[in-house]
Structure 1
């Protein structure tokens, strides 16, 4: 049974049992403290915790998930994979334990011909919390499982909570017995390799008042509504039903192993070490495919870093198998073909996905070259009995160059060297500690107490009427001040105000919020921001100008007309620029983010290279031609599927409701899913003036533009600058560019001549420095203090010349000067000095330590700097002492 069929059977079964089928959310988590969705219940958290009312009593989904905490274990066990799919069924105050057990047992054991999965009931086991006696009775009453195949476990295994005060409850897990060939008898408590967990039923019924650890917590009482949250690992069920040994051998993963085996000339199953690498490749390629598909691009932090690491580990694994050339052009299409039955959009969007992945592999192969050179330099700097690459170097290779530690270890072994792994691990641990602290800080903001807003939402959502009007009579439903419900705000106080209905647009989709006034009998409050702390409840951040604003007051909510119009201009301009980009650059130039505010728009888009100056001009021209064409800007509501069929653009990684709003500008010119505000016709946008276009990350570019009157002011300012330059240079405005270019060329020639004369002057003084040289121990010590210098290259030139003049002696030459207020030091050693153990790199590090900086290099020539010119005498003395 193919994985996609198992997925469909799951959805069909629960839909037939009254559940609403909810599409998988993006693998990108909307929670700022979590990079990726890690469980099927994530998108339902607001309903399970009661923060928001659930739009349905029962739901089912198959959620895309990514976990990377055990990435080093991928390929080594059957339990670790980065991307996986979690089948879930959920009840929000509807059914509870008994029905959850009946549903699970029915799907697992019903015959395949009847829509079930056809598991042998004689091979199924269950675990129950040791204090949950009623669940044991329900298993015995609702299924054919005997008591001896129901095992009791404690909080460690069979109690669920979030790790914070809030909901929690017992779990009941279902296991499948793979048979005696896979381990000892005795059920899950005896062997979880033989007995594989396939389904976890969570009974969310308690309110926890304090959580000290996984197993240590206090139960305050029962939840007002009891919920069900279950999860079945799709890949685990697939490998059991497909009769293979592990999740890497199922139909959605194994084709990549086969392709990688062919590239490497290896047979899967013959060498366990090679098999591990092949499984790493298959897992990581599939994960990267999904993650890029949901809009993530490789980067140096957050999700981008995880994606980069996955791609590089896959390439590295192939390298360990002996494949040095590019591999993703061969492997990624195979993974797409294997996954497209479950996710057809991967095939539709494969051009964009492959561009991102292939560009990252090319960059990594270049990185391997630069990192290899750093490694070679570090190895060359070792001397005598020192055969160990430092932990600092290994960490720099990993952190700066993206070198996996196993690559460093392999290269060191080939060179007969060791690596200070403990030092490397210590630095990695420090980095993880910093990352966890940062995540914890983010989590504090991401999980602010929203109970005051949730309580207001219980009376229903606030109505947004701002598409049609900018003023509305309303009523104050609630006030929240510092996260706590309040009854009144007085003159000078700030807080969040919730209204029955509002014309104010809350910040969303890249569009900044409206501003304006809320006024009533005896008071006026200025609205400075509008946010949605919980979905469906716009919260107006206000400052009370005079009087008292109270809960229950009748008010007039009035949006600032100019601010709204200018913001709408910018938002419509963003759509026009997006359409122009796709017309000039092609359909693979897709949105990666945006910001719209009065007078300004910023648009991020995916594109592998910088557009030419001509292309930039054409993009600006096409957008402004659309303005001149005065296209009608229309909106309509339709189902998400109908919107996609109509050609409407959707933002990658965004979760859309079943019914969406489509903004149409000029028919086929621009058609996008959008909830923002817009002008009525494109001519109302006014001029669009592109301010800049630049890269903001790997494969992501940003275009910024002024809009409307701000665009006019920007162009007027440029006209003034050109006029002033024309007057200064005594040439017509059309000749300013060529005149400035000529002046710059002459200036560069003059700078080169000055540098040449400075170098000649320095070399002419070389004799003086040799005359003043000292003998320190057995070594000739040449000291060249140069005072203020133009650049470090001057010192390097002089030091190299001095070394050539004393190359037949045991000599150390130190050149030191001050450039832009900071000391620069260059040290060179002759062959005889190096034979005596004097290495330039180590001496420079010593000198720079005194100067308050750092540096390094090869044993024969090294350079560094610092921040304290006053310490130059101390730096020279330290080098002398080391030589002595």
Structure 2
């Protein structure tokens, strides 16, 4: 049974039984405390917790998920994968335990010919929370399971909560027994790979408080409306139904594994380590493909960093399989073909996805090349000192700074006959993780506690009237201070105010929140921020500047008209620049992020190379021509499918409802889904002035622009500079570039002549220095102070020249100088001196110790320094003494 068929059977089964079929949400989580959608129930959490009234009594979905907390286990077990699909059925106050158990058992054990999955009842086990006698009784009566195949487990495995006060409840899990060939008897309680969990049923029936840990909390009451949340692992059922050993061998994943095998020439199944690497490649390539299809791009932070890590682990695994060249064109196309039947957008957006993936692979292969060079030098240095161990801090530097995997460091060191100081490396890695944990200490890893908003959201959605109104009369529904709901807030306090209506725009879609005030009888509030903490609710963060604001008070929101005008100009300007970019660069230049505020905008877009000055000028010209042409800006609301059929572009990672707002500028020239505020005609934007273009990752670029009056002010400032230059240089404006070029050329020529004079002056010092030679034993020594010098390079040049002039007899040259108020000493030895055991590095460390600093280098030349120029004579004396000894 193909994975796509298992998926469709699930949706058909529950759809036919009154469940609303809900499309998968994006892998990019709406929850600001969680980067990715990590479970099938995540999109339904607001309904399950009562934060938002459920729009349907029962629902079903097949949800795309990403989890990376067990990334090191990928490939080693049959069930760990970063990308997976979780099927789920949900009840919001409708059916409860009996219905959930009946549905699960029926679908699993009904024959394939009758639309079920056809599992044999004798192979199925269940676990329940140890005190849930009701669930045990239901399993016996519905499924006829004997006592020995129902195992009672504790809260750590069979109890669900958000980790915060609120809904919670016991769970029951269904396991498939793979048979004695896969492990000992004993059931799921053995926690053995023989028993594979395929379905988890959560019975959300209690309210908990005083949450102290995952297993320590107080149950205070039963919920008046009980919910069901279940999830079945699609990949786990697929590998069981397809008769393969693990999830990496199912039809949606195996093609990538096979391609990795072909490219490497290694047979899958022949070697355990190679098998793990192929499974890592198969999992990570698929996960990366799906992340990028939802708009995530490689970067050095957040979601982009996780994606980059997956891509680089794939490259590393192929490298360890013996493939050093690019492989993504082969691997990603195999994954595309396997996944597109279930997710057509993967094929539709493949040009954009592949461009990003190939660029990242190319960048990392260059990183590996440079890391290998550094590693080779470190290996060579270790060998020269007679050590058989590569320092742990070197391995950590390669890993942390260059992204060079420790596996490759171990491999290359082993080939050179060295081991790596793993204890030191692991210690440094541990310290780094502790720093990361400390940095994230205040960030919640579980579901955000938004319960304070639930009572307000239950009153309905906040109406946003700001598209057409700059003021709006409203009523105060709630006030929050320090996370707690209160009845009032007084002058000087900062609070969140929830209103029934507002004209103030909440930050979203890249547009900054409005500025403004909220006024009422006896109070005035300065608006600091406007956000949407939960879907449908707008919260205003305010400072009470006068009086006392209370719940139920009448209030009027007043938008700062000047700021709103600037924000509208910037947001419409973003659409115009995006259209101009696509007109010049083509459809692959797709917006990947933006930020707009009054007078300023930035636009991130998918592209893998810098834009030339000529291209930027062309983009700016097209944008300002669109402004000059006074194009109509039209906004319409329509069903999402209709908007897409009209060609409206959506921003990857943004969430859209069934009804969307479409913004047209010049008709189809710019047609995007957007909930922001906009101008009425393009001429209201005023002016676009592109001020910067930069990289935000190997496959993303960023353009920044000033808009409107700010754009004019910036150009006026440049005009003032030009006027000043024309006056100073007595040159007409149109001749300034040539005049400045001539001046720069003249300056370079003068600097060149000065350098030549300095070199001549130095050369004249060589005879003087040769006249100071003293013989120490069998070695000729020059040890002199040069006084003040411009740079250490000048000192090095003299040292090298003097050494060459001393001939082939043993010789040491030690010259010191005051360089920018710091003592510098450089020492050189010739071959005869080194043969006699005299090493420049050892001598310079001796001298640097006298100077109050440090130094080092090779046997033939070394450099040191310190803090005290007055100690230079003593340092030189110490060199002579060291040669004597």
Quote the residue 1:716 is aligned against.
Answer: 716
Evaluate the alpha carbon distance shift between residue 779 and residue 363 of structure 1 in structure 2; reply closer, same or farther with a 3 A threshold. farther
For the structure 1 residues 191 and 577, does the alpha-carbon distance in structure 2 shift closer, same or farther, using more than 3 Å as the test? closer
1:268-667 matches, cutoff 5 A? 268-382=268-382, 383-443=384-444, 450-667=450-667
What is the CA-CA distance between 1:753 and the residue it aligns to? 3.1
Of the structure 1 ranges 96-105 and 248-257, higher mean CA displacement relative to structure 2 is found in: 96-105
**CA–CA distance in 2 between the matches of 1:41 and 1:852?**
64
Cα separation, 1, equivalents of 2:18 and 2:864:
71
Structure 1: distance between partners of 2:880 and 2:597: 62
Match of 1:126 in 2: 126
Q: Distance in 1 between matches of 2:405 and 2:386?
A: 26
Kept after mapping to 2: 8 A contact 1:74/1:280: yes
Q: Tell me, yes or no, if structure 1 residue 751 matches structure 2 residue 751.
A: yes
Between the aligned partners of 1:117 and 1:844, the Cα distance in structure 2 is 77
Residues in 2 aligned to 1:784 and 1:453: alpha-carbon distance in whole angstroms: 78
Per the TM alignment, residue 33 of structure 1 is displaced from its structure 2 partner at its CA by 4.0
CA distance in 1, matches of 2:700, 2:866: 35
Counting only pairs closer than 5 Å after superposition, residues 108-127 of structure 1 correspond to structure 2 as 108-127=108-127
Q: Is the 8 A contact 2:783 2:880 kept in 1?
A: no
Q: Deviations over 1:32-54 (max 9, x none)?
A: 44333322222233333333333
Label 1:157 to 1:716 Cα distance change in 2 as closer, same or farther (>3 A). same
Deviations 1:739-790 (A, max 9, x none): 1122122222322333343344445445666766899999888666666654
Structure 1 residues 480 and 877: CA distance shift in structure 2, 3 A: farther
Q: 1:782 to 1:42 in 2, by over 3 A?
A: farther
Matches within 5 A, 1:182-331: 182-190=182-190, 192-331=192-331
| Deviation of 1:516 (Å) | 2.0
Deviations 1:785-819 (A, max 9, x none): 66665445334434444554568577776666676
CA contact (8 A) 2:856 2:864 kept: yes
Counterpart CA distance in 2 for 1:692 and 1:586 is: 21
In structure 2, relative to structure 1, the CA distance for the partners of 1:870 and 1:686 (3 Å cut) is: farther
| Residue 562 of structure 1: how far off its partner (Å) | 1.8
State the 1:517 CA deviation.
2.5
CA contact (8 A) 1:601 1:705 kept: yes
Query: CA–CA distance in 1 between the matches of 2:329 and 2:79?
Result: 28
Deviation at 1:682, TM superposition (A): 1.0
SS where residue 443 of structure 1 aligns? coil
**Partner residue, 2:689:** 689
Quick one: structure 1 residues 154 and 526, their matched pair in 2 at CA, closer, same or farther if it must change by over 3 Å? closer
C-alpha separation in 1, matches of 2:207 and 2:872: 66
Does the aligned pair in 2 maintain the 1:202–1:229 contact within 8 Å?
Answer: yes
Q: Deviations over 1:487-527 (max 9, x none)?
A: 33333433222222111111111111112222222333332
**Alpha carbons of structure 1 residues 62 and 728: separation in structure 2 relative to 1, 3 Å:** same
Deviation at 1:563, TM superposition (A): 1.5
Q: Secondary structure at the match of 2:443?
A: helix
**SS in structure 2 opposite 1:617?**
helix
Residue in structure 1 matched with residue 69 of structure 2 by the alignment: 69
- The alpha carbon displacement at 1:609 in A equals 0.4
1:59 lines up with 2:51 in the alignment:
no
Distance 1:862 1:91, change over 3 A: farther
Check whether the contact 1:121–1:144 (CA below 8 A) recurs between aligned residues: no
Contact 1:450 1:483 in 2 (8 A): no
How far residue 221 of structure 1 moved from its aligned partner, in angstroms, is 4.0
Rounded Cα–Cα distance in structure 1 between residues aligned with 2:486 and 2:285: 52
Alpha-carbon separation, structure 2, partners of 1:162 and 1:14: 26
Unmatched 5+ stretches in structure 1: none
Equivalent position of 2:136 in the other structure: 136
Following TM superposition, by how much is the alpha carbon of 1:314 offset from its aligned partner in structure 2, in angstroms?
Answer: 1.5
In 2, Cα distance between the equivalents of 1:881 and 1:852? 18
Matches of 1:866 and 1:35 in 2, distance apart? 49
CA gap of 1:734–1:64, structure 2 versus 1, over 3 A, is same
Q: Helix, strand or coil: the match of 1:661?
A: strand
Compute the RMSD of aligned alpha carbons.
3.2
How many equivalent residue pairs?
883
Counterparts in 2 of 1:578 and 1:145: CA distance versus 1, 3 Å: same
**Secondary structure at 2:495 match in 1:** strand
Contact 1:799–1:815 under 8 Å retained in 2: yes
For 2:585 and 2:22, the matched residues in 1 are separated by 35
Q: What's the offset of the Cα at 1:261?
A: 1.5
Q: Which stretch of the first structure deviates more once superposed, 758-767 or 429-438? A: 758-767
Q: Is the 8 A contact 1:381 1:859 kept in 2?
A: no
1:191-227, CA deviations, whole angstroms, 9 ceiling, x for partnerless residues?
A: 6222211111122333443455544444444445433
Q: 1:846 to 1:489 in 2, by over 3 A?
A: farther
1:725 equivalent in structure 2: 725
What corresponds to 2:25 in structure 1?
25
Match in the other structure for 2:80: 80
Instruction: Look up the SS of the partner of 1:64 in the other structure.
Output: strand
Distance 1:829 1:507, change over 3 A: farther
- Flag the 1:183–1:486 CA change in 2: closer, same or farther, 3 A: closer
Question: Residues 375 and 458 (structure 1 numbering): CA distance in 2 closer, same or farther, change over 3 Å?
Answer: same
Aligned to 1:36: 36
